[in-house]
Chains A and B, each alone.
Chain A
Amino acid sequence: MHHLHHLHNRFGFSPTPTEWQKLQSESVDWAITKLLTDARQNPPVATPNESIPENIRMMNDAERAELFKERLMGVATINAEWLSRMANPQESALLERMCLFWHGHFACDIKSGGLAASYLNTIRKHALGRFGDLAKGIAREPAMIRYLNNQQNRKQSPNENFARELLELFTIGRGNYTEQDIKEAARAFTGWSSNFDGTFRFRRFAHDYGSKTFMNRTGKWDGDDIIDIILEQRATAEFLAAKMYRYFVNPGDDPQHIAQIANHLYDSGYHIGETVEFIMRSDWFYAPGHWHAQIKSPVVLIAGLMRSLGIQTEEPMSLIYMERMLGQVLFKPPNVAGWPGGRHWIDNATLMARLNLPSVMILGSGLVGRAKDDPKASRREDGPKQLRVTVDLRPLLTLGQADTPRVALQQLAAYLLPGIEPPLDLIERYARASSPQESVAFAAIRLMSMPEYQLS
């Protein structure tokens, strides 16, 4: 049973109580095939309606501030929709998880809902397809073009920002290229720009059509050629394989298994879906040493809690507020290297917020957020003081149905903390309530408040 949990935790999110019950009678092979099949349905997110002013230079400060605010609300809407999809058992957990992985990889801080939707839809389209298509798609995303200053990358005055990060973080990694390669790659991406309405635009007159020597190959390369040359290097497959291994398998390196992933990636023409399936079907993926080896990222944690507790919300800010408290806001990575992950998620402040989150979600208490009478409250955290969410505990209560409270607790523990022996006596003492149902809810809160629940 632990294998199924492990599979879902890494290539999806914690299963819902209902999914969990269904999985009891299924094999790992069946579960893998189901994850892959479900991922074929891939509805794009809707682009929010954003006003596109004729000329931003003609606007006064108040109008600009209003526009800026509208765009940020647009990002919040896409953020909440995406997180809700991760939490929704009707959506493909594998696809959403892959998108989250690629968002961390092609990290991009996005300031408008339209750009966020476009960027996310490009990731969705290629998340399990070919890496080359994904990289070329991202290189054309106006969000990325603006984030890494490719707007300013012109023949007369190249801007190296995008080219540098493409090599260092997105494809081949440090130590496999020269400063000269960066300069030449930057020339190849000159003129890759965006229109004001947030669509890609190739500016012919800003593009450098001259000959470039990149990674010892000389030609009149454009951006796509550069990406193709990078993908020809085995080091690129190795770099991506190591990153996948650390994210999906274990934060520590295992050169042998990473080499297997790299070979698979390279030989399949960088087919991500096939490589993911290869990992899922490898015995070593299920080795006990990998269980609980990862610290859940805030978004993975929140999505899992939402799934277990049947949480929905109509108010995007409630979800974003949780992300902010825990230190991972979608479309707002700390920098272009993405979220560093692992123990970086955990420190005094974020750990306490995590441990309190289940009770905050169920009880709606104001533990997160500043006191109402704090005059500064609106400055640092302008979120709601209380989470406005609806909770549906019925599936969880069904899972906790048993003849004795102890058996109920054991069933809940097997679902929420598989492979871990929680101190049941202590939990029982802190789960006393006036009705058995309430007591199951309290027990679930306690189990999800344990430090072990932070691991996956």
Chain B
Amino acid sequence: MKRRTFLENTALASTSLFVPSFLASPFGKKTERSRSGRNLVIIQLNGGNDGLNTVIPYRNDIYYRERPRLAISQQEALTITDELAFHPAMDALRPIYDQGHLAVLHDVGYPNPDRSHFRSMDIWHTASDADEYRSEGWLGRYLDNHCTGCDTPYHALEIDDSLSLALKGAERTGFAMSNPDRLQRATENRFLKALGNHQGDDHDHEEVSYLYKTMIDTQRSARYLFEQAGKHRNTVRYPSNRFGDDLALIAKLILADTDTRIYYAGLTGFDTHANQQGAQQRLLKQYADGVSAFVRELEEHDLLDDTLIMTFSEFGRRVAQNGSNGTDHGAANNLFLMGGNLKQRGFVNGGPDLQNLVDGDLKYRTDFRSVYATVLDHWLETDADAVLGGRFDRLKVV
């Protein structure tokens, strides 16, 4: 363990808000460790990623029997343990695994899994039961009631042109921005500034209030985020695609010690009903290369210990492939956690359990809300039960 990490993990653990300046990097180019606390980065794989071809149970006969054309052979798979291997496109994750910065949870899901993308994504976003409908997201509820000292509109920031349900609360919401430069220019309108000052955000009509509040918040935030994003240049090269751009932006904001603490990004296209190989290969490569650059950059600046990255998808896919060389919607799936401060590393609950399937689908062993509860409780240090509206077991991984 590095000396600096050791110091911070022990003597300074309880006062991590206050890192003395002698701990700051002596290298001019580097930034000092974040003074404001921990970052949570959530990466959503849209469409239902095929977890079984992401982390491959390469010694499992059931896997090869059910996927005669789609299974990834032992020769191709990137062997990690005696049982499990990565998809060949995820070579970049291997060093992260080797350094103990990756934890994979298998068979994460919920009771009575729903196979609709939208419904299942809503369940994940709102942390609801399968038959329960909630209109606030789990992070939105955190912002609403349980997040002290985070009253900036950009405490939770989604790098996209629109905001996900997860970040929508009843009173407070996260902030959506795909490009700080564009947002900044969009708020330079002098009339709109005068209008915001004149009208305020308190109106009888609910939608009018909402629109004014959003406008005024945006005007107040845009310049700040623009300046924060311009403070540092990325010191690592990110892959040339949208996902890479988004992670590069998040890294710049973290490096600048921005008041944002929760970041949300996504990668789309995992709904591979037909001809899965090429599509998943391309997407997993984007994912692994992007995340690897991100982790390296944070590590270079000694910020990885302060950052937790969670990757999930709304469901996994059926164990058996379909007749179109693809896979249909399934149930439980694997979930990745990354960071410099994990308490458990590697495949923390073994591999996928292919023996005990329900209707040909993986059965959940860990409720995704246990992961949320752990993140809320152990990482964001808030009352997870109150945010989630129920008690879920805590995991040891964070």
Contacts and interface: CB of A to CB of B under 8 A. Distances in A.
Interface of A: 149, 151-152, 154, 156-157, 159-161, 164, 168, 174, 292-293, 295, 327, 335-337, 343-353, 355-356, 359, 367, 369-371, 374, 376, 379-380, 423, 426, 429-430, 446, 449-452, 454-455
B207 A348 contact: no
A430 B190 CA distance: 9
Nearest to B117: A335
Interface stretch (B73-81, B176-184, B283-291): B176-184
A449 B189 contact: yes
Given A292-B205, A346-B214, A349-B162, 19 more contacts: A151-B324, A152-B273, A157-B322, A157-B324, A347-B162, A347-B176, A348-B176, A348-B217, A349-B177, A349-B182, A352-B183, A352-B218, A356-B186, A356-B192, A370-B182, A379-B240, A380-B179, A380-B242, A430-B190
A359 B118 contact: no
B200 to A, nearest CB: 11
Contacts of A429: 194
Interface in B151-185: 153, 161-163, 173, 175-179, 181-183, 185
A450 B161 CA distance: 21
B212 interface: yes
Contacts of B119: 174
Contact of A159 (B118, B178, B273): B273
B208 A349 contact: no
A149 B222 CA distance: 42
Contacts of B163: 347
Nearest to A161: B273
A355 B214 contact: no
Contacts of B189: 355-356, 359, 449
B215 interface: yes
Nearest to B209: A451
Given A348-B175, A430-B194, A355 B185 contact: no
Listed from nearest, the 9 A-B pairs whose CB atoms lie closest are A157-B323, A451-B211, A152-B324, A352-B186, A347-B176, A348-B218, A430-B191, A347-B163, A149-B273
A352 B187 contact: yes
Given A293-B207, A349-B176, A355 B192 contact: yes
Contacts of A451: 208, 211-212, 215
A346 B328 contact: no
A282 B163 CA distance: 36
A168 B194 CA distance: 46
Given A160-B328, A349-B183, A380-B242, A426 B273 contact: no
Given A149-B273, A347-B162, A159 B215 contact: no
A198 B245 CA distance: 36
Interface string B253-271: 0000000000000000000
B29 interface: no
A157 B325 CA distance: 11
Nearest to B168: A343
A322 to B, nearest CB: 13
Contacts of B214: 346-348, 351
Given A353-B186, A355-B192, A452 B215 contact: no
B195 interface: yes
Given A157-B323, A337-B118, A449-B191, A379 B218 contact: no
B13 interface: no
Interface residues of B, number: 52
Contacts of B207: 292-293, 295, 343, 455
Contacts of A376: 245
Given A370-B181, A430-B190, A449-B191, A350 B162 contact: yes
A43 to B, nearest CB: 34
B221 interface: yes
Nearest to A427: B191
B357 interface: no
Given A327-B162, A349-B177, A449-B191, A152 B117 contact: no
Contacts of A454: 211
Contacts of B162: 327, 344-345, 347, 349-350
B18 interface: no
A426 B195 contact: yes
B355 interface: no
Contacts of B186: 349, 352-353, 355-356, 367
A449 B161 contact: no
Contact of B323 (A154, A161, A359, A446): A154
A348 B221 contact: yes
A355 B176 CA distance: 16
Contacts of A156: 323
Contacts of A369: 182
A379 B178 CA distance: 13
- Give the most central of B175, B177, B328: most A CB within 10 Å: B328
Contact of B198 (A149, A152, A157, A423): A423
Interface string B79-119: 00000000000000000000000000000000000011111
B199 interface: yes
Contacts of A449: 189, 191-192, 195
Contacts of B273: 149, 152, 159, 161
A379 to B, nearest CB: 7
Contacts of A344: 162
B17 interface: no
- Give the most central of A343, A348, A371: most B CB within 10 Å: A348
Interface string B115-149: 11111000000000000000000000000000000
